[in-house]
Structure 1
Amino acid sequence: MKNCFTHISSDSEFEEKAFQTFSHQFENNPVYRSFCDLLYIHPSDVKEIQQIPFLPIQFFKSHQILSTTNAVQEVFSSSGTTGSITSKHYVTDLSLYEKSYLAGFKHFYGNIEDYVVLALLPNYLERKGSSLIYMVNDLIQKSKNSDSGFYLHNLDELATKLKTLDNQGKKVLLIGVSFALLDLVEAYSFNLKNTIVMETGGMKGRRKELIRKELHSILKQGFGTREIHSEYGMTELLSQGYSTGNGIFNCPPWMKVLTRDTEDPLTIENNNKTGGINVIDLANYNSCSFIATQDLGKIYDDNSFEIIGRFDNSDIRGCNLMVF
């Protein structure tokens, strides 16, 4: 079951896999089982995916979230300020992550070999515990293009390469953290016609936080592009959502986003209402596929979604159910 999530092609198939995954993780993930037990929820009681318990994401900071006894191959960790507690995602099968992001990229953008991948991110050696860097490093390798690479510390070379490749009509993916993209457009002007500019979020104290609309407006003007794309992923997940513009994201077929009531974390909201973002990620078979994030967002009737903000720590409810 665990290796066939990329073959999902319908809502009914997704639900069947979600129920199978829930049963597996209930039986094999001690932390998740304890959380479900405290809620008095058993797989036999669950008739629809909205009834599956979503584990608060904060538990990745305090517990090993594993649904297998297999050896850990990689530990991905979130970035954080000095002294802060970071999330850790213990990955026992990197092939599931690779399968997910490669199939996800192909689903939204086509063959990676058609692109030159330019990364405005720390390179793999600088930020070895980052799941994003792991993914982008592999996309760079899979592109099989000598121009692909990391360029965070060499904006002059990147600016020249971007203009040259774009003028040559090459398909280019420029992927970067928000503050670095802003640095680039403040130092250089562009008029890109064949380049996808994708931001992955992240000011991390480097700049004043901007709302997405303001950020994208600055970047569109600076790069000369009609849209700014975005990636929605996190340390605790093995799948990503993508936006091709306007901050509206879509998921690959094995990932689904729901919203929960901000006052009652066990109640799933209807579409078009702002709530806490819950994610089902069926690639996360060996960890936990049902995660309540700290993001606030809205789901639309076509299953696309928008991220509106984040909970303050004081607004997080439901985590005090389980402190041990």
Structure 2
Amino acid sequence: MNNKNLMDYESIEKILGFEDPFNIEPSISRELRFKSLKASFEHHYLNNKVYKGFCELANVSPADIKNYEDLVLIPLVPSDFFRDVSATGRHEDLVHISSVPDEQIARYFTTSGTGGQPSIYPYDGRSLGTINRSNAIIFKKVGGLKSDDYMLFLTPSTDKADTGMVQGMYLTMKGIFKDTDSQLDFAIQDNIFDTKSIVNKLTKAKGRTRHLYGPPYAYNQLCEQMSNLGLEMRLDPESKAITTGGWKSFKDEAISPSELKEKIQKAFGIAPQEIRDGLGLTDIMSILVECQYGNKHVPPWIEVSIRDLNDPSWKTDVAIGKDGLIAFLDPLISSFPAYIVTGDVGKLTISQDEKCSCGRYGATIEYVRRAGDPRGCALRQEQLMTEVESKRKTK
């Protein structure tokens, strides 16, 4: 293969370098996003044998991407493909789906995946650095976090959890906080979720603006235990409670977002508009954070679209407000083609050209439900795995 990095880092740096990327004029962000995605597609097409074979089956090449409207033609990879490759247990298969030489891979990150099977993603050092910077921008500009704040993860520590939820967010906080050793801590120690210890940690951090971060079930467990113990505490006027992950308990029972907000407000005195949910884009280690109006903002470097559930080619967008498969294209990652169609149904609530009530430009998205078995997914999974198998045999 080409083995030459063709990414458009100049456009990427421009869009990340604005004082507030969420206030860029839509025409400017669209141009930079198109240029970086066009270059990214050429990079993966020429450097990734598996993805190139997949694109040839779809009869799409970089020459077909002439303008912004053509981005919808870029062949999308089902998110579960990474799960299937990871399930083989062969490192060589992870190498085959990478677009950079194996020696450039700095780290592998995992997600919990569907059906309990984890998905593993290869990241090179430059992509990791860019992702961490971009996530820090999201949490500073939309989440409102500041360099002197304190955050408590309602999770195990980074040496006990290798998921993007923990590892990715920790790296993001390192890009925001002045001293993560004193400004960040973890609630779960030695597999023990001790409520009194959590309250003590938050009490000791008084003097900084204190925030919470974790999955809904952890908040639910913490709030219920505090209620049972008769504990309440008042955090700070600008404190945030950021949730991410599935809205199910350990017993697979649904957790009501509105009820959980009430519990968090009662336990910690956090204002409702400061209890923010985040839609985790686990395949690319990013997150779409809610603003104070409850809208999940798509950063201007990511192209998010909603694809027609009835079109197995996934080349048809649906209108604003209509349900469809959530798809996203990320130009920041050079180590694998981050053009993902998820197994989630969602809808755009604000277009790329509009402003939210919070004053920020850009698309906002709403998660609706899991899609089940989207049309076309099984076929594309089979096509991609066939490419992986063929590359292994011809190595």
Q: In structure 2, what is the equivalent of residue 120 of structure 1?
A: 154
Question: Structure 1 residues 73, 190: CA separation in 2 closer, same or farther (over 3 Å shift)?
Answer: same
Question: Is 2:62 the partner of 1:62?
Answer: no
Q: In structure 2, what is the equivalent of residue 32 of structure 1?
A: 51
**CA–CA distance in structure 1, aligned partners of residues 319 and 286 of structure 2:** 24
Give the % identical residues. Answer: 25
Letter in 2 for 1:195: S
- Cα deviation code 1:141-187 (max 9, x no counterpart): 55216252111333212223435656x4x322211111111111112
**CA–CA distance in structure 2, aligned partners of residues 268 and 122 of structure 1:** 39
Letter in 2 for 1:223: F
Question: Structure 1 residues 233, 3: CA separation in 2 closer, same or farther (over 3 Å shift)?
Answer: farther
- Cα deviation code 1:65-121 (max 9, x no counterpart): 32212422111111258x842211011223233233233333324564221111111
Question: Is 2:370 the partner of 1:310?
Answer: yes
Task: Report the secondary structure of 1:233's partner residue.
Answer: strand
Question: Structure 1 residues 298, 226: CA separation in 2 closer, same or farther (over 3 Å shift)?
Answer: same
The Cα shift of 1:258 comes to 0.7
Contact kept in structure 2, 1:104 and 1:239, CA below 8 Å = no
The Cα shift of 1:197 comes to 0.4
**CA–CA distance in structure 1, aligned partners of residues 135 and 8 of structure 2:** 15
Contact kept in structure 2, 1:261 and 1:269, CA below 8 Å = yes
Question: Structure 1 residues 316, 77: CA separation in 2 closer, same or farther (over 3 Å shift)?
Answer: farther
Give runs of aligned pairs for residues 270-289 of structure 1, distance below 5 A. 270-289=319-338
Letter in 2 for 1:237: I
Question: Is 2:272 the partner of 1:226?
Answer: yes
Contact kept in structure 2, 1:76 and 1:90, CA below 8 Å = yes
RMSD: 2.6
The one of 226, 237, 241 aligned to 2:284:
237
Question: Structure 1 residues 195, 285: CA separation in 2 closer, same or farther (over 3 Å shift)?
Answer: same
**CA–CA distance in structure 2, aligned partners of residues 141 and 19 of structure 1:** 31
Structure having the higher Rg: 2
Question: Structure 1 residues 297, 211: CA separation in 2 closer, same or farther (over 3 Å shift)?
Answer: farther
The Cα shift of 1:123 comes to 0.9
The Cα shift of 1:317 comes to 2.9
Task: Report the secondary structure of 1:282's partner residue.
Answer: coil
**CA–CA distance in structure 2, aligned partners of residues 139 and 320 of structure 1:** 36
The one of 243, 252, 265 aligned to 1:199:
243
The Cα shift of 1:230 comes to 2.0
Query: For structure 2, which runs of at least 5 residues remain unmatched after alignment?
Result: 1-6, 16-23, 86-93, 227-231, 355-362, 387-395
**CA–CA distance in structure 1, aligned partners of residues 375 and 157 of structure 2:** 33
Q: In structure 1, what is the equivalent of residue 41 of structure 2?
A: 22
Letter in 2 for 1:318: C
Q: In structure 1, what is the equivalent of residue 134 of structure 2?
A: 100
The Cα shift of 1:237 comes to 0.4
Higher helix share: 2
The one of 299, 313, 317 aligned to 1:268:
317
The Cα shift of 1:271 comes to 1.4
The Cα shift of 1:245 comes to 4.8
Contact kept in structure 2, 1:174 and 1:196, CA below 8 Å = yes
Q: In structure 2, what is the equivalent of residue 148 of structure 1?
A: 184
Question: Structure 1 residues 2, 173: CA separation in 2 closer, same or farther (over 3 Å shift)?
Answer: farther
Query: For structure 1, which runs of at least 5 residues remain unmatched after alignment?
Result: none
TM-score by length of 1: 0.87
Contact kept in structure 2, 1:213 and 1:246, CA below 8 Å = no
The Cα shift of 1:199 comes to 0.5
TM-score by length of 2: 0.73
Contact kept in structure 2, 1:14 and 1:253, CA below 8 Å = yes
Give runs of aligned pairs for residues 204-215 of structure 1, distance below 5 A. 206-207=250-251, 208-215=253-260
**CA–CA distance in structure 1, aligned partners of residues 116 and 168 of structure 2:** 24
Contact kept in structure 2, 1:21 and 1:289, CA below 8 Å = no
**CA–CA distance in structure 2, aligned partners of residues 29 and 213 of structure 1:** 44
Question: Structure 1 residues 316, 149: CA separation in 2 closer, same or farther (over 3 Å shift)?
Answer: farther
Task: Report the secondary structure of 2:131's partner residue.
Answer: helix
Question: Is 2:124 the partner of 1:77?
Answer: no
